[in-house]
A and B are shown apart, each in its own frame.
With several copies, the nearest count.
Chain A
Amino acid sequence: MAPSAPERSRYLDIYTRMTRIHRSDERFRRMLLGGQLAIAYYSPRGQELLSAALMAAVRQDDYLVTTYRGIHDQLAKGIPVRDLWAEFAGKATGTCKGKGGPMHITHPETGVMVTTGIVGSGLPIANGLAWASMLKGEDRVTVCCFGDGATNIGAFHEALNMASVWKLPVVFVCQNNRYAEKTKFADGTACATISDRAIGYGLEAIRIDGNDADAMYDAAARAVAKARAGDGPSLIEAMTFRFMGHSFGDPGEYIPKEEYAAFLAIDPVPAYRQKLLDLQIGEQELGAIDAQILAELEDAVTYALESPYAGEDEILKDVLDVEITPAISGETPFQIEEVA
Chain B
Amino acid sequence: MSTGTTTEAPKMISTLQAVNQALDEAMANDERVIVFGEDVADPQGGGVFKTSKGLSTKYGDHRVRSTPIAEQAIVGAAVGAALAGMRPVAEIMLMNFITVAMDQLVNHAAKLRFMSGGQSSVPLTIRTIAGAGRGNGGQHSDMLEAWLAHVPGLKVVTASNPADAKGLLLSCIEDDNPCIFIEHIMGFQQKGVAPPPGHRVPLGKAAIAREGHDITVVSYGKAVNDVLAVAAALDPAISVEVIDLRTIAPFDEQAILESVGKTGRCLIVHEAIKAFGVGAEIAARVQEKLWGRLKAPVGRVGSKYAAVPFAPPLEKAFLYSQLEIQGAIQRLMAA
Whether A101 contacts B305 by the Cβ 8 Å rule is no
Question: Most chain-A Cβ atoms within 10 A of its Cβ — which of B66, B96, B310?
Answer: B310
**A312 CA / B311 CA spacing, docked (Å):** 10
**A166 CA / B41 CA spacing, docked (Å):** 14
Task: Kindly identify which residue among A63, A101, A158, A254 contacts B311, using a CB–CB cutoff of 8 Å.
Answer: A101
0/1 interface trace, chain B 266-288, chain A, CB 8 Å (1 if under): 00000001110000010011001
Q: Is B129 an interface residue (CB 8 A)?
A: no
- Chain A residues positioned under 8 Å from B328 (CB to CB): 332, 334
Instruction: Give the segment of A4-12, A26-34, A124-132, A294-302 that binds chain B.
Output: A124-132
Whether A125 contacts B306 by the Cβ 8 Å rule is no
Within B60-109, the residues touching A (CB, 8 Å) are 62-63, 65-86, 88, 96-97, 99-100, 103-104, 107-108
Give the distance to chain B from A300, nearest Cβ to Cβ, in Å: 17
Whether A315 contacts B304 by the Cβ 8 Å rule is yes
Whether B326 contacts A339 by the Cβ 8 Å rule is yes
**A159 CA / B101 CA spacing, docked (Å):** 13
Within A96-150, the residues touching B (CB, 8 Å) are 96-104, 106-108, 113-114, 116-121, 123-136, 142, 149-150
Q: How many residues from B make CB contacts under 8 Å with A? A: 99
Whether A118 contacts B107 by the Cβ 8 Å rule is yes
Instruction: Give the segment of B3-11, B118-126, B211-219 that binds chain A.
Output: B118-126
- Chain A residues positioned under 8 Å from B70 (CB to CB): 152-154, 158, 161-162
Are A129 and B84 also in contact (CB < 8 A) when A155-B100, A162-B67, A180-B69 are? Answer: yes
Q: Is B117 an interface residue (CB 8 A)?
A: yes
Whether A131 contacts B80 by the Cβ 8 Å rule is yes
- Chain B residues positioned under 8 Å from A136 (CB to CB): 84-85
Q: How many residues from A make CB contacts under 8 Å with B? A: 88
**A162 CA / B275 CA spacing, docked (Å):** 36
**A315 CA / B45 CA spacing, docked (Å):** 37
Whether A155 contacts B76 by the Cβ 8 Å rule is yes
Whether B113 contacts A339 by the Cβ 8 Å rule is no
Task: Kindly identify which residue among B39, B97, B120, B234 contacts A106, using a CB–CB cutoff of 8 Å.
Answer: B120
- Chain B residues positioned under 8 Å from A116 (CB to CB): 107-108, 139
- Chain A residues positioned under 8 Å from B136 (CB to CB): 40, 103
**A309 CA / B66 CA spacing, docked (Å):** 40
Chain A, residue nearest B67 (CB): A162
Q: Is A318 an interface residue (CB 8 A)?
A: yes
Give the distance to chain B from A280, nearest Cβ to Cβ, in Å: 43
**A120 CA / B71 CA spacing, docked (Å):** 11
Whether B77 contacts A97 by the Cβ 8 Å rule is no
Q: Is B26 an interface residue (CB 8 A)?
A: no
Whether A150 contacts B69 by the Cβ 8 Å rule is yes
0/1 interface trace, chain B 149-179, chain A, CB 8 Å (1 if under): 0001101000000000000000000011100
Are A104 and B318 also in contact (CB < 8 A) when A335-B331, A339-B234 are? Answer: no
Give the distance to chain A from B55, nearest Cβ to Cβ, in Å: 15
Task: Kindly identify which residue among A182, A189, A315 contacts B309, using a CB–CB cutoff of 8 Å.
Answer: A315
- Chain B residues positioned under 8 Å from A153 (CB to CB): 68-71, 100
Whether A133 contacts B84 by the Cβ 8 Å rule is yes
Task: Kindly identify which residue among A104, A155, A253 contacts B138, using a CB–CB cutoff of 8 Å.
Answer: A104
Q: Is A95 an interface residue (CB 8 A)?
A: yes
- Chain B residues positioned under 8 Å from A119 (CB to CB): 69
Q: Is A258 an interface residue (CB 8 A)?
A: no
Whether A132 contacts B39 by the Cβ 8 Å rule is no
Task: Kindly identify which residue among A94, A118, A182, A339 contacts B139, using a CB–CB cutoff of 8 Å.
Answer: A118
Task: Kindly identify which residue among B97, B275, B314 contacts A315, using a CB–CB cutoff of 8 Å.
Answer: B314
Whether B67 contacts A319 by the Cβ 8 Å rule is no
Q: Is A279 an interface residue (CB 8 A)?
A: no
Give the distance to chain B from A67, nearest Cβ to Cβ, in Å: 11
Whether B120 contacts A152 by the Cβ 8 Å rule is no
Q: Is A192 an interface residue (CB 8 A)?
A: no
Task: Kindly identify which residue among A94, A96, A101, A335 contacts B135, using a CB–CB cutoff of 8 Å.
Answer: A101
Whether B314 contacts A183 by the Cβ 8 Å rule is no
Task: Kindly identify which residue among B72, B135, B137, B234 contacts A124, using a CB–CB cutoff of 8 Å.
Answer: B72
Whether B77 contacts A124 by the Cβ 8 Å rule is yes
Q: Is B115 an interface residue (CB 8 A)?
A: yes
Report 7 cross-chain contacts, Cβ distance below 8 Å, ordered by A residue.
Answer: A101-B138, A114-B112, A136-B84, A153-B68, A153-B71, A154-B100, A339-B326
Q: Which 5 A-B pairs have the closest CB atoms?
A: A128-B80, A124-B76, A101-B310, A90-B311, A329-B305
